[in-house]
Structure 1
Amino acid sequence: MEKLFILFLLITSLSFSQEKTIEIDYFVDYVIPSKRQTTTDTISIGFNKDGEYLWTNYNKLALDLAKSLIKNSSEDYSKAKSNIIYDTEEGSLLLTFEFNKNFIFFNLNLDSFLPFSESDESFNLITEDIGETMKVLDREVNIYNIFPDDKPEEILTIATDIDYKVNNSAIFKKFFEIAFRKSGMEDNNFPQFPDGLILKIIETENTLLEAIKISDKKKTIKINYSLKITE
């Protein structure tokens, strides 16, 4: 099974050949506390203000990928590096992976990886502006609650900074479309997410993610990887 999975990744990695130019407008460092709030992890995410792309170089993913593909216990996998771009319009992940002399490029369609889990339930997600603010990085930011209409007590709280323009509805739209379709709930209404840079996410008083640093120094990413065979 593992060999088939690796073969599938290699095949899909060859399906992307055209050049892409991607603009990343903001970079945010977040802390992610553990469930018991005893340890924290850090992740950097880059945002395109139109919501077309997300970027990260989350090295824990590179480490896990290295261990699954390169079977050599003597290697220092901590040196593995990755760049991951989520194309929100296509619903696909572009991933580059570097480790020693190894370089791998993947173009992965989320529709192929999200599991099918049919459900008889039907619900709509509600976005509510509660008219309150909180401080994150000494900035006063707006608070919104998101919850299913049939379980209003299951609240996800999002704090966004509208001074940094980001179209969050565009970021999440394709993901929810795929998830609803995989669950047999295509008729569900897609929620309109609040605009602005997401600085904090809270679930039932537990912080899932919180910004600790923001950079608005724009960067351009060019992707041009292809394998052509001619006669």
Structure 2
Amino acid sequence: MEAGCNVALVARSQSLIKQLAADPGRAKTLPLPADLSDLGVCDRVVKETLDHFGQVDILVNNAAVGIYGPSHTALLTEVRKVMQLNFFSPLALTRACIPPMKANGGGLIINISSIIGQRATPWAGGYCASKAALEHLVESMRVELTPDNIRFSTLYPGVTQTGFTRNALGKTKTAQGRVSGVSAKRVAAKLMYVAQKEPRDAYVTLLDRLFVMGGHLLPSVVDWAFQRYFQPH
């Protein structure tokens, strides 16, 4: 909003989006309380945004929920909730935005993924899988929609100082939940960079990038480190 974009604010928490809308800076805001795990709501959110602003230039898929615990004992009902919000909701929003973006000559879709969508960690398999699924979907749609000037960028944060870990499903805690992480403001600044420069992939910190590279280049070493430092408690 500080950059002057008109923003549709979507969240389950009415108090949160009202707080954000109360200080819009140079932007015009449209607060839309919604639970995006209800896929029918996704179409309504896009329609109300179009009715209010007339077009959608950028879609940011950010809603997500985590799940912690052994993957082989995770409740399937909870894994489904994770996939519903982390994968099917971005897919539904993207599908709803594509026709108006095509009609307007193009658009940008930014997906907020995670470094552990590129290199999975133990005790968070359901979450890692949901982000990996979204990343592969984006790779496919990027090529399919290039003729329509619809672009895709993905931002891969690491641990961020939000209520994400506290609100995650499952009950196991790991070292990931004890890492302080970077501020949400720093992630937001990187998101603004992505919106302006449209890189294919972006990381918030150098350590995030090195984590992913290490996972691909030295997988056995990373597995050993996980076994040593990511034990549940």
TM-score, length-normalised on structure 1?
A: 0.22
Query: Which structure: larger Rg?
Result: 1
Between Structure 1 and Structure 2, the one with more helix by share is 2
TM-score, length-normalised on structure 2?
A: 0.22
> Higher relative contact order by CA 8 Å / sep ≥ 6: 1 or 2?
1
